[in-house]
Every structure is written in C-alpha cells, then in structure tokens.
Amino acid sequence: MQAFDTDVRNRIIKLVKGILEQNSLSADVTPAAKLVDVGLTSMDMVNLMLGVEAEFDFTIPQSEITPENFQSVETLERMVTAQLQPATAA
C-alpha cells in the first residue's frame, strides 16, 4: 500500500465516523466492515457519497454509484483511488 492509499482510506473512515456521530452512533469502522452493519442507512449513504465528492473534489460518475462500491471502506477506497488516477488515453 502506498501512503496515498492509506490517506484515502483514513479520509473515508473519518467521513463514515462523522456520519455515525451525527446519528449518535459509534462503531469500530474497519476497512472490511460492511457500512450497513456499522449503522449507515440509505440516507447516510447519500451523505457519504456527497462527503466523498467534497472530500476528494470530484463528482462520482453515475456508473460508479453502485451498492458494490458503497459496501465497505475498502470498496469505496478502490473506487475513489480509481477515480483519482490520471485518465488514461482512450
């Protein structure tokens, strides 16, 4: 893992914990933990999506807004990292 990836992961964990705190919940947010299991509702997922967009300064493409990408910190981290890669020439 590069330092960059760890940074992405920590920022996502911080976003998830922030949303949980707004709901007066606290959970041990591990990279592999399913976000619904730690207490995020569907509305929280929308807030998380908006939070990720603001935190990393990009718009998540519609095609990437999938239940699979929003399953865990790990799946979110993969999607964010992929979006932040310099676009390769088509």
Return the SS3 of 53: helix
Beta strands in the chain (DSSP E): none
Read off the pLDDT band of 67 (50, 70, 90).
Answer: very high
Please report how many Cα atoms fall inside a 13 Å half-sphere around the Cα of residue 89, on the Cβ side: 0
> How do residues 75-85 score in pLDDT, each as one tens digit?
999 999 999 98
CA neighbor of 79 nearest in space, from 3, 10, 12: 12
3-81 to CATH, choices 1.10.1200.10, 3.20.20.10, 3.20.20.70, 2.10.240.10: 1.10.1200.10
Given a contact cutoff of 8 angstroms between Cβ atoms, the answer to whether 23 and 39 are in contact is yes
Tokens representing 9 are: 């992961």
Domain residue limits, the chain: 3-81
Measured between alpha carbons, how far is 9 from 47 in angstroms, rounded to an integer? 17
Identify any residues that bridge with 72 across adjacent strands, giving them in sequence order. Answer: 34
> How do residues 39-48 score in pLDDT, each as one tens digit?
999 999 999 9
